[in-house]
Structure 1
Amino acid sequence: MSLLSGLLDHMPPIIAGADKPALASRITERPRLVLVERPALLPASTYSNAGNATPEWRHARDQYLNHVMACRSCYAPTARHCLSGADLRATYDRTPMESPR
């Protein structure tokens, strides 16, 4: 007999799942999930991305991103911009991504 087995002889056996509540009580406590259908924001046939955006929108986006990446005063995640960064962001927001049909 080893020293370890001698120590384990004096410990009570571990019963699996003794500290967990019964399955029925766990199921009733669980919140119910409900599927909520939302109306589509865009028609299903339209897919907007930078590849099919207007050249003006891409230019405004590129100008804004190039500035934000280089400017030490601008921090986009918290919407903190310097004066020129704020102007570029406003231009980017105002420029339509899709051309009117």
Structure 2
Amino acid sequence: MSLLSGLLDHMPPTIAGDDKPAMAKRAPDRSRLVLAERQATVTAYTNAASATPEWRHARDQYISHVMACRACYAPTARHCPAGADLRATYDRRPMEPHQ
């Protein structure tokens, strides 16, 4: 015999559908908690997934160049002439369509 079965021996058996007490069995003077629905605020976040295709293309070209070019070092804004042109193109492209 397992330890768990020994602990549960004193509990009465449950009947199917007897999980919740009926409303009449509950104390009528007890206040009830009600979940309030939160108002969903719609905010538009600008990220690469919602950016314009032109911006993503310029970003991809710039990143591909910087990762391969030994003369470019993006953290200090040091770029070769080609990297500087790609960075300028990337900066000029609007990320959102309405800009």
Measured in 2, the distance between the counterparts of 1:81 and 1:94 equals 17
Residue 100 of structure 1 deviates from its aligned partner by 1.2
Instruction: Please report the RMSD computed on the Cα atoms of aligned residues, expressed in angstroms.
Output: 1.4
* Amino acid paired to 1:96: P
Moved >4 Å (runs of 4+): none
1:61 paired residue number: 59
Aligned to 1:88: 86
Offset, 1:86: 0.1
- The TM-score normalised by the length of structure 2 is 0.56
Q: Percent same amino acid among aligned pairs?
A: 74
Could you report, residue by residue, the CA deviation over 1:27-68 in whole angstroms, capped at 9, with x for unpaired residues?
xxxxxxxxxxxxxxxxx7120100010000000000000000
* Within-5 A mapping of 1:1-101: 45-100=43-98
Aligned residues: 58
Unaligned runs of 5+ in 1: 1-43
Structure 1 length-normalised TM: 0.55
> Match for residue 10 of structure 2?
none
